[in-house]
Chains A and B, each alone.
Chain A
Amino acid sequence: MNFQIVGCSHHNSSLQLREQLAFSPDDTRIALRQLKEQFPKSEAVLLSTCNRVEIYTGSVDSDVCPSPREITEFIARFHGLNAVPLFHELFDHSGEKAVQHLFATAASLDSMVVGEPQILAQVKQAYEMATGDDCTGPLTHGVFQAAIRVAKRVASETSIHQRRTSVPSVAINEFANQFFDHYEDKKILVIGAGEIAAETTRYLVDQGARDITVINRNLERARLLATEIKAAAQPWDQFQNLLGTVDLVISTTGAPEPIMTAEQFAPIHRTRHQRTLLILDLAVPRDFDTKINDCLGVYLYCLDDLSGVCQKNLKAREREWPKAQQIILDETAAHIAETRHRSSSPWIQQLKTQANSMKDKELARLFNKLGELDEASCEEIIRSFDRLTNKLLHPPLESLRNDTTEGGQHGLLDALKRLFQLRD
C-alpha cells in the first residue's frame, strides 16, 4: 500500500511555523487542484487545523506516488517559502505508520487536548473536500472511512472523551473561569462564526452568558450563529467599538494577518480605563498582536498557552490511554491486512474463476462420456469435483492470505500469478 503523510503538528513544530504553513479553506481547494495537476494519478487529502497541517497522499501504483521530498517542496512553493529548512521541520510517515497516525489523529489521541471532538469533524471535512474536488480514490476512501469508524469506536469503548476537554472547553473552563466567577452580566464578543466559535459560545451559554455579540466579515454567517445561540450579530465595522466595552473576547477567524495590532488597540485600551479584558485568541494565525498582552488589565491567551492544561489532561487520561492505543493498533493491523487482501482479491477471484471454468469443462466432458445418469449420481459427482477444486485451492490461497497479511514479504502473489498464468 502506498499511503503516506507529510506535515507538521503541535508535537514537532512551533505555532509560528504552523501559522506559516496553514491552509485556509480556499487555499486548500487551490492546493488540492495543484496537487492533482502535478501528481494526476495520486490521491490526496489536505488536513489543515489549528494544531496541524498534513497532506495525505497515496496511490495503488507506487511509481506514481509523490515522494515526501516532493510534497515538502510543494508546501514550500505554495507558501512561497524556502524548502530546505522545511525538510527538517516536517515529519513524514508511510504505510502502516501513516495509517496509524491518521487513526490516532481522527480519534483525537494526537490532539493537543486529547479527546477533543472537533478533530473528527475536521478530518471528515478534509476528506469530503478532497472527495468533492475529485482528489480521492479507493485507497484514501478506505483509509479515511476506516479512520472515522475507528474514532467512533475509541469514543464509545473508552472514556477518553469523557469530561470534554476540547480547546474551547479548556479555554472556558480552565482559563476564563480564573477571571470570571459568573457570566450573566459579562459582555462577550465572538469574532468569527466557524465551528470553534460556535462550540465556545455554547460553553459560555451553558455557563450562563447572556450578552453575546457575534461579528464576522460575512454578516450572514454571524447572524446564523447568533440565531443559534440567541446572541446579537453586528457588522464587522463595529469591531473596534465593541472591543472597548466587552469583558471577554473569543477570536476564531481564519484571517491570514492579525486583525488587531498593538497600535490599533492603544486608543481602545484608553477608553476601557484598565477594566479587565480577557482575549482568548483561538485562531491560527493569531488574530491579536501578542504585544496587546502588555497592556494593563488585558490578558491575551493564544492556542499555545493552552498546552500546559493539555498536558494535565493527558495525565488525567493516562489510564484510558493504553486501551485507546490498543484499539488504534488493532484497527491499523486489521485495516492493513484488509487492504492487502483487497489488493490480492482480484487475483484470487481470477484463480477461482479459472479453476471453476476448468472444473465445469471437465464435468461436461465426463457427463458426455458416462451417458444417462440418475440425478443423485450427478449431484454426487458435482459435489466431488467441487470438494476437489476447493481442497486444491485452499492451501495456496491460505498461504497467500497469510503472506499478504504479513506484507507480502514472500512474494506469493507474484508466484501465484506466474504459476497459474493470471493476467490483468
Chain B
Amino acid sequence: MTSISHIITWLSHVSETCFTACYALVMVLEISRLFFRVAVRHALILAITAAGLFAHVVWFCLSARTTTTTPLVSWYGWCMLIALALVFVYLWLRIQYPDKSVGLFLLPMVIGVIGTALVFLSDQEPIVTKASLSFWSILHGMALLLGSIAATLGFIAGIMYLVQSFRLKRKIPPRQGLRLPSLEQLQRYNYWLLTLSTGLLATGLLAGIIRKACLSFAAETSAPWNPIVVISSVLLLLWLIITGLFEYFYKPARQGKKVAYLTVTSFILLGAVMVLVFSAEHAVKIETSASQTLNSRPTSGNREVQE
C-alpha cells in the first residue's frame, strides 16, 4: 500500500508541461527527418510519444480524481481531450506507416491545441458537476467533442491531400524524410472524416438545441438564448447540411481536391464558431462579484452558467 501511495504521490507531480514537452520533442524529431537519417529515431519517437501519452492520461485521471466535475465540460479539458485523441491517432499512424511524415502535420496541431488551452483557457473552471449532467448535455458535449476531433483530423488529412496533390501535379520528386500517404488513402480519410464530422457536429448542435429547449420549458430561471451562439450554431449547421447535400448530389465533391477543400473549410468554420461561442461566454461561468479579477480561479458555486 505504501509503495502504491508513493507512486500516486510521484505521479501527482505530472503536469501539462510533461506531456507537452514530450510532444514538442517528438515534433523536433519529426522535423529532423527532413534533414538527416538516424537509425534509432523511429524507436525514440515511439518511446517519447508513449511516455507523453502516459503522462497525458495520468494527468487526466488525476484531474478527474481531484475534482467533482468531468473534463468534458470545460473548454480547457475539451482541448486537452482533443489533443490526447490526436496523439493516439498519431501513434497509431506512426506504427502503421513508419515511413510517412504524418507527424509533421499532426503534431503542430497537437501543440497548437494544448498551447491554446494553456494560454487562453487555463483559468476556466468546469461548469457542470457530474451529478447535473443530463442525457442531452452528455450527447451535446460528446458529439461535439468527437465531431471536433474528426474535423481536426479531416483538416490535417485535407492539408496533406492538397500538399500531396500540389507536389504530384508539379511532378516534384519524392523527398527523403517527406513521404505522404497516397492520394487515394488521403482522399478516403478526407471523405470519411468529413462525413463523420458532419454527422457528429450536426448531432451535437441539435442535441444542444434540444437541451436548451428542455431547460427553457423546465425552469423559468434558465438563461436566455444567446444570439451569437444561436446565429453561429445555425450557420455551422447550415454549412454542414449544405456540405451533406453537396456531397450527395454533386459527384466531384466526393473525390479529389473538392473533398479536401470541404474538410479544410469545415474545420475553419468550426474553429470560428468555437471562438464566437467562447467569446459569447457559452458554457463558461460568469463572475457575479465585480471585485474578482478575470485571472482569479473560482472557488465556489457563486456563479451562474451562461447557456
What is the interface of chain A, defined by CB distance below 8 A to chain B?
174, 177-182, 273-276, 293, 296-297, 299, 301, 305, 308-309, 312
CB contacts under 8 Å to A, within B178-194, are: 180-185, 187
- Known A-B contacts A177-B182, A178-B164, A180-B184; the reply to A305 vs B171 at CB < 8 A is yes
The answer to whether A299 and B169 have CB atoms under 8 Å apart is yes
Q: Which of B4-12, B126-134, B203-211, B250-258 touches A?
A: B250-258
The answer to whether A301 and B182 have CB atoms under 8 Å apart is no
The answer to whether B183 and A293 have CB atoms under 8 Å apart is no
The answer to whether B173 and A274 have CB atoms under 8 Å apart is no
The answer for the CA separation of A178 and B171 in the assembled complex, in Å, is 11
The answer for the CA separation of A296 and B180 in the assembled complex, in Å, is 20
The answer to whether B182 and A299 have CB atoms under 8 Å apart is no
Which one of B171, B182, B257 lies within 8 Å of A181 (CB-CB)? B182
Output the nearest chain B residue to A309 by Cβ-Cβ distance: B173
CB distance from B246 to the nearest CB of A (A): 13
What is the interface of chain B, defined by CB distance below 8 A to chain A?
164, 168-169, 171-174, 180-185, 187, 251-252, 255-258
CB distance from A296 to the nearest CB of B (A): 7
The answer to whether A274 and B168 have CB atoms under 8 Å apart is no
| Supplied contacts A181-B182, A297-B257, A299-B168, 15 more A-B pairs, CB within 8 Å | A174-B174, A178-B168, A178-B180, A179-B168, A181-B184, A182-B184, A273-B255, A274-B255, A276-B184, A276-B187, A276-B255, A293-B169, A297-B255, A308-B172, A308-B173
Output the nearest chain A residue to B164 by Cβ-Cβ distance: A178
The answer to whether A275 and B256 have CB atoms under 8 Å apart is yes
The answer for the CA separation of A70 and B301 in the assembled complex, in Å, is 100
The answer for the CA separation of A299 and B166 in the assembled complex, in Å, is 11
- Which A residues are CB-close (under 8 A) to B181? 181
Classify the interface of chain B: helix, strand, loop or mixed.
Answer: helix
- Which A residues are CB-close (under 8 A) to B169? 293, 299
The answer for the CA separation of A273 and B153 in the assembled complex, in Å, is 26
- Which B residues are CB-close (under 8 A) to A180? 182-184
The answer for the CA separation of A301 and B173 in the assembled complex, in Å, is 12
- Which B residues are CB-close (under 8 A) to A312? 173
- Which A residues are CB-close (under 8 A) to B255? 273-276, 297
Q: What 4 pairs between A and B have smallest CB-CB spacing? A: A308-B173, A274-B252, A273-B251, A181-B182
- Which A residues are CB-close (under 8 A) to B183? 178-180, 276
The answer for the CA separation of A139 and B257 in the assembled complex, in Å, is 59
The answer for the CA separation of A174 and B174 in the assembled complex, in Å, is 8
- Which B residues are CB-close (under 8 A) to A177? 182
The answer to whether B182 and A274 have CB atoms under 8 Å apart is no
The answer for the CA separation of A312 and B174 in the assembled complex, in Å, is 10
A selection of 13 A-B contacts at a CB cut-off of 8 Å is: A178-B168, A178-B174, A181-B184, A181-B185, A273-B252, A274-B257, A276-B255, A276-B256, A293-B169, A296-B257, A297-B255, A297-B257, A305-B171
The answer for the CA separation of A296 and B251 in the assembled complex, in Å, is 14
The answer for the CA separation of A180 and B181 in the assembled complex, in Å, is 9
The answer for the CA separation of A305 and B172 in the assembled complex, in Å, is 9
- Which A residues are CB-close (under 8 A) to B172? 308
Output the nearest chain A residue to B258 by Cβ-Cβ distance: A274
The answer for the CA separation of A312 and B255 in the assembled complex, in Å, is 32
The answer for the CA separation of A180 and B258 in the assembled complex, in Å, is 18
